[in-house]
């Protein structure tokens, strides 16, 4: 029976000698082209719905086969088509589709499945917009784990999906989700750092009123999380956390911010948080001068001295020159003898 392959997919044949090499891939190999958003064609709503439900049922059964990925790949393309061309019809099947098709594909060992899964999730977020907010508790931790992938294209595509989520659903709720995920994954410095940087992006998009309400309702958990993230091992994570604290302090005002900090933290933790939330002072001309070389500063001061002192130094130089001119009038032999004697006297003094 002829094997049904996805569109733009071809089976790659390798000889027995290549298969016997150490590290050679096991099983069948395929060359697959993932379609862009512009090239995804419209599919009939009833047909699309049936394809998705059949694939979900197959995933839920215990009769999974090695080539199930082909059906799953096709199902991802169908989901992308529905999200792009018939968005509202996706809502009824979306929870099951995410759980059984999209999320597993993002964790798949096949790179082509990961790529299509991430593109599918990007299309869903882009077209459903804030309707995807109810799924963020599952999406965000999953995507953050893929930002540490060894493959560059997976890292870049995952970052693009996360940025789209921030742009579409950026809010104080998403900020808190990134914050709490960063704390939970503190054993992974890279993941923690990435989570805090996206938290900063969310905070920069949030209004002053939303930030104030957020702190009034959840100041205890937020301050505790930020205190922990200040001590994370990733430098970028610390910097992002400091910037978040600085924005909070500026938005709330000194009195309100100090009140929240004093209510929640111990004196030592309070001092640490207040120091981190201070905005760096601008560099002044005095601090620049203090870093200059001593000789350079002395030269600047000398140039600012009074004019009479300069004239006095010039007179001294003129006297010295006139003395030298008189010395040169002596006979050459006497001058040379005097120099030799003086030279001997100097060496004697040194000895």
Residue 45 lies in a domain: yes
Closest CA to 241 of 175, 288, 184: 175
Residue 155 lies in a domain: no
Q: Tell me: the pLDDT tens digits for 227-282?
A: 999 988 889 999 999 999 999 999 999 999 999 999 988 888 889 999 999 987 76
Confidence of residue 24 (pLDDT cuts 50, 70, 90): very low
- Please give the pLDDT value at position 202: 96
Do 109 and 190 have their domain in common? no
Do 111 and 202 have their domain in common? no
Residue 351 lies in a domain: no
Do 123 and 192 have their domain in common? no
Among residues 225, 250, 280, which one ends one of the domains?
280
How many structural domains compose the chain?
2
- Please give the pLDDT value at position 339: 43
- For the cut 50, the answer to whether the pLDDT of residue 51 exceeds it is yes
44 or 340: which carries more pLDDT confidence?
44
**Inter-CA distances, 269 with 106, 115, 133, 272, Å:** 39, 43, 34, 5
Do 79 and 209 have their domain in common? no
Q: Which of 25-29, 279-283, 303-307 has the weakest average pLDDT? A: 25-29
Residue 86 lies in a domain: yes
Q: Which of 6-10, 161-165, 168-172, 176-180 has the weakest average pLDDT? A: 6-10
- For the cut 60, the answer to whether the pLDDT of residue 347 exceeds it is no
Question: What are the structure tokens assigned to 345, written together?
Answer: 């006297």
- Please give the pLDDT value at position 35: 80
| H/E segment holding residue 12 | strand 9-12
Confidence of residue 78 (pLDDT cuts 50, 70, 90): very high
Strands 9-12 and 29-32: antiparallel
Do 126 and 5 have their domain in common? yes
| H/E segment holding residue 11 | strand 9-12
Q: Which of 58-62, 98-102, 167-171 has the weakest average pLDDT? A: 58-62
Positive or negative, the CA dihedral 183, 189, 194, 200 is positive
Rounded to an integer, the average pLDDT of 47-74 is: 86
Instruction: Return mean pLDDT, the chain.
Output: 81
CB atoms within 10 A of CB 84: 18
- Please give the pLDDT value at position 269: 87
Confidence of residue 212 (pLDDT cuts 50, 70, 90): very high
- Please give the pLDDT value at position 342: 46
- For the cut 50, the answer to whether the pLDDT of residue 341 exceeds it is no
Among residues 237, 257, 280, which one ends one of the domains?
280
Do 113 and 180 have their domain in common? no
Do 123 and 242 have their domain in common? no
Range of the domain at 271: 170-280
Confidence of residue 305 (pLDDT cuts 50, 70, 90): low
Q: Tell me: the pLDDT tens digits for 123-136?
A: 999 999 999 999 99
Residue 151 lies in a domain: no
Among residues 222, 254, 280, which one ends one of the domains?
280
Cα distance between residue 41 and residue 327, in whole Å: 103
Residue 143 lies in a domain: no
Beta-carbon contacts of 232 under 8 Å, excluding residues fewer than 6 positions away, are 182, 186, 189, 192, 193, 196, 238, 241
DSSP string spanning 146-193? HTT-SSHHHHHHHHHHHHHHHHHH-SHHHHHHHHHHHHHTTT-HHHHH
Do 94 and 222 have their domain in common? no
Residue 348 lies in a domain: no
- The answer to whether residues 167 and 198 touch, using CB atoms and an 8 Å cutoff, is no
Residues in the chain: 351
Phi, psi of 70 (to 5 degrees): -65, -45
- The answer to whether residues 186 and 192 touch, using CB atoms and an 8 Å cutoff, is yes
Do 231 and 105 have their domain in common? no
Do 131 and 207 have their domain in common? no
Q: Which of 181-190, 198-207, 296-305 has the weakest average pLDDT? A: 296-305
Do 216 and 96 have their domain in common? no
Residue 211 lies in a domain: yes
Do 130 and 2 have their domain in common? yes
């Amino acid at each position: 029976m002829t094997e049904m392959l996805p569109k733009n997919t071809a089976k790659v044949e390798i000889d027995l000698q290549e298969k016997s090499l150490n590290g050679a891939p096991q099983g069948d190999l395929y060359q697959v082209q993932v379609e862009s958003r512009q090239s995804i064609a419209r599919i009939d709503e009833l047909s699309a719905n049936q394809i998705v439900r059949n694939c979900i049922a197959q995933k839920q059964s215990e009769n999974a086969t090695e080539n199930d990925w082909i059906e799953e790949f096709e199902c991802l393309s169908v989901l992308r088509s529905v999200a792009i061309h018939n968005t509202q019809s996706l809502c009824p099947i979306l929870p099951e589709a995410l759980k059984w098709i999209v999320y597993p594909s993002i964790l798949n060992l096949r790179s082509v499945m990961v790529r299509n899964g991430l593109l599918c999730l990007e299309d869903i977020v882009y077209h459903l917009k804030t309707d995807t907010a109810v799924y963020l508790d599952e999406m965000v931790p999953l995507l953050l784990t893929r930002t540490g992938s060894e493959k560059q294209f997976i890292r870049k595509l995952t970052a693009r999906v996360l940025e789209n989520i921030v742009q579409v659903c950026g809010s104080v709720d998403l900020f808190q989700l990134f914050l709490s995920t960063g704390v939970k994954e503190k054993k992974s410095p890279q993941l923690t750092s990435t989570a805090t940087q996206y938290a900063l992006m969310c905070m920069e998009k949030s209004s002053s009123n939303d930030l104030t309400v957020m702190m009034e309702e959840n100041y205890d958990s937020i301050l505790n999380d930020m205190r922990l993230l200040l001590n994370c091992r990733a430098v970028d994570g610390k910097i992002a956390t400091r910037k978040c604290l600085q924005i909070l302090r500026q938005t709330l005002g000194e009195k309100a911010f100090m009140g929240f900090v004093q209510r929640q933290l111990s004196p030592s933790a309070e001092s640490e948080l207040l120091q981190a939330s201070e905005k760096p002072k601008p560099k002044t001309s005095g601090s620049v001068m203090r870093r200059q070389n001593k000789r350079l500063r002395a030269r600047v001061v000398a140039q600012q001295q009074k004019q009479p002192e300069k004239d006095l130094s010039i007179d001294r130089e003129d006297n010295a020159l006139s003395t030298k001119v008189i010395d040169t009038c002596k006979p050459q032999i006497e001058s040379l003898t005097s120099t030799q004697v003086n030279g001997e006297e100097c060496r004697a003094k040194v000895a």
